[in-house]
Chains A and B, each alone.
Chain A
Amino acid sequence: MNVIAIQMHFKRNLLAYIAALPMALTVFVAYMGTMFWSVRLSFSSSRMLPKNDFVGFVQYERLFNTSRWISSLENLLLIAFLFLVICFVLGFLLSIFIDQKIKAESFFRTVFLFPYAMSFIVTGLVWQWIFNPQLGVQKTVQALGWDSFQFDWIVNPDMVLYTVVIAAVWQGAGLVMALLLAGLRGIDEDLWKATKIDGIPAWRVYISIILPMLRPMIITTVVLLSISIIKMYDVVVAMTGGGPGVASEVPAKFIMDNLFERANIGIATAASTVMLTTILCLIAPFIYSNYIKKQGR
């Protein structure tokens, strides 16, 4: 292209460029700019106040010597694993059963998805209430006569993570159901006729044929769920506050506490850089294959 052609291009599309300006500003200033700033700060000696020096990986060393950070990572791994598996299995089962031409289908769909419309704060508070040993399920069962009944998970450091998983599954399983149901509805009826003639049992069909066919939906679902888990913050704040002790601490909350309560900018930005790197590795191939390659004009 020569200079005149380039000039022509910009002149003809000038307004489009101007209209894209807010988007460019958001990307370059609000996302990239702040991201690099955060990463930059993680290599400085900042504590209460940001500093401009360069100290290498000192903050990262401090970070990974902080037992609270290590346990928050371990907690997150356990929560993520259980949440993904349970959410997916439950959501897939629900979508299969709802797809069996059942009665009251829209009632069931509405019930399974409504928690997804609730905020994490509400989710956390309700489940905190149900799990409360003095007033919730434990007390109710004990009052029925089973005096030794124990259900104190939410105040038990070994079990508290499972209560968080239950609350998170309650909120997220409906999403899996809705997305996979949409996938199931798109499958050709002829497939079922063919497998019926061949006498293949239904469960085999679902596992060996349908599941691979739903691959794109499954990838989307897993990515969505993983992201929501890595970002997990509100539900823990509302439900356990990270406790008892640090038994339900999660990375997102660790960063917020270090930023605002402990005034420890260096560690907080180092931790957020670790989170950022993890997410980027998880997500970049997904974005490329799902949104850029396929849907471009």
Chain B
Amino acid sequence: MLSISPTNLKFASKRASSIQMQWGRIGIYGFLLVTALFFLLPLYVMLVTSFKELDEIRLSSIFALPQDVSWDYWKVAWSSACTGLECNGLQVGFWNSVQILIPSVIISVMFGAINGYALSFWKIKGANILFACLLLGAFIPYQVFIYPLIRVYAEIGIYGTLTGVVVSHVIFGMPIMTLLFRNYYSTLPIELFNAARIDGAGFFKVFFIIMLPMSTPIIIVAVIMQVTNIWNDFLIGLVFAGNDNLPMTVQLNNIVNTTTGERAYNVNMAATILTSLVPLIIYVASGRWFVRGIASGSVKG
């Protein structure tokens, strides 16, 4: 017998809403999974293509798994792929990128820390205006600066040299680095600074003894950001590095978009993965630190 009592009604509606909830959950997971597939697809395609023979690439589907896995094309990409007439592979660009990366990261993080410290603890006249102009620089397209900078570099003899690229990375990385450290230092209590000042510590003593040891988290964030940014840079390397110091991204583009000879898609894909390996490893290894950098910096040059 079916009686419509208030308790029954309540039960029915509760069941209906829980069924609705379940469909909602399925919808959420469905959407997330489909989107995740879209995001992973290029990575997958790169990987499988890098193992296929050229004939296999022509015949099989772009999504098909390779018939057998050999690292041959990776080896070619690394050590004998051609850019123009030179066939020494991507390793040239890799080592150039490393050479550019190390001094650029160290110097730009150091400047960022000192600037941030000076801006948040010291009374410098016009500091706010200076900082505003610096930040503005982060947003302006490099194209505005490039031609005059080339002229200046040529004048002082660093155009087309390693020094030239490093200086450019330091210049263009300064806004975001300064912003990171300034924001971090302005959360530290000013009493700390005042106490040290009363004890007679000077600018650099306060910095090295008190501020720097407290800066580890923000230094990690800054290093992660700079390594990723500088490794991924294309424009600065292309314009300022000169032919002997072209970074990996530029060399990759030269290898892939070269117009001479038959296109070796497998080698190209292996080369593409090799180039993105450094930022990928950093991204996966650093996890939340990476996100923290985006959130606290929020200005990407």
Residues of A within 8 A of B (CB): 9, 13, 15-17, 19-20, 22-24, 26-27, 29-35, 37-38, 41, 50, 90, 93-94, 97-98, 100, 102, 106, 108-123, 125-127, 129-130, 135-137, 139-140, 143-144, 170, 174-175, 178-179, 182, 220, 224, 227-228, 230-231, 233-234, 237-238, 241, 252, 255-256, 259, 265, 268-269, 271-273, 275-276, 279-280, 283-284, 287-288, 291-292, 295-297
Contacts and interface: CB of A to CB of B under 8 A. Distances in A.
22 contacts: A13-B122, A19-B114, A20-B124, A23-B118, A27-B137, A30-B145, A32-B133, A33-B148, A34-B152, A102-B28, A117-B280, A117-B290, A118-B232, A121-B249, A122-B276, A129-B45, A135-B57, A234-B234, A252-B141, A272-B143, A275-B143, A292-B128
Contact of A97 (B28, B40, B135): B28
B179 A291 contact: yes
Interface of B: 25, 28-29, 31-32, 35-36, 38-43, 45-46, 49, 57-58, 61-63, 111, 114-115, 118-120, 122-124, 127-128, 130-137, 139-149, 151-152, 171, 174, 178-179, 182-183, 186, 190, 202-204, 228, 231-235, 249, 252-253, 256-257, 265, 268-269, 272, 275-276, 279-280, 282-284, 287, 290-291, 294-295, 298-300
Question: What 7 pairs across the A-B complex have the smallest Cβ distances?
Answer: A119-B232, A15-B203, A34-B148, A16-B122, A117-B283, A37-B148, A140-B61
Given A23-B174, A268-B147, A102 B253 contact: no
Contacts of B49: 129
Given A19-B118, A256-B143, A34 B149 contact: yes
A170 B39 contact: yes
A119 B140 contact: no
Contact of A228 (B58, B249, B300): B300
Contacts of B233: 119
Overall SS of chain B's interface: helix
A228 to B, nearest CB: 7
Nearest to A287: B135
B31 A93 contact: yes
A227 B84 CA distance: 34
B190 A297 contact: yes
A27 B133 contact: yes
A282 B293 CA distance: 24
B141 A30 contact: no
A118 B280 contact: yes
Contact of A13 (B38, B42, B124): B124
B284 A110 contact: yes
A17 B253 CA distance: 43
B62 A130 contact: yes
A258 B253 CA distance: 20
A178 B294 contact: yes
A84 to B, nearest CB: 16
Nearest to A107: B36
A130 B48 CA distance: 12
Contacts of A269: 147
Contacts of A143: 61
Contacts of B141: 230-231, 252, 272, 275-276, 279
B171 A26 contact: yes
A112 B235 contact: no
Nearest to A97: B28
A111 B32 CA distance: 10
B289 to A, nearest CB: 12
Contacts of B253: 121, 125, 237-238
A120 B300 CA distance: 13
A139 B269 CA distance: 18
A234 to B, nearest CB: 4
Contacts of A265: 147
A95 to B, nearest CB: 11
A19 B203 contact: yes
A184 B192 CA distance: 34
B179 A170 contact: no
A209 B147 CA distance: 48
A86 to B, nearest CB: 12
A122 B253 CA distance: 9
Given A120-B234, A272-B143, 6 more contacts: A37-B148, A100-B28, A121-B275, A126-B272, A272-B144, A280-B140
Contacts of A22: 111, 115
Given A19-B203, A30-B145, A94 B35 contact: yes
Nearest to B117: A19
Contact of B235 (A123, A144, A233, A297): A233
A160 B186 CA distance: 47
Contact of B130 (A23, A237, A279): A23
A108 B123 CA distance: 46
Contacts of B280: 114, 117-118
B144 A119 contact: no
A135 B265 contact: yes
B279 A117 contact: yes
B35 A280 contact: no
Contacts of A259: 143, 146-147
Nearest to B282: A117
A205 to B, nearest CB: 14
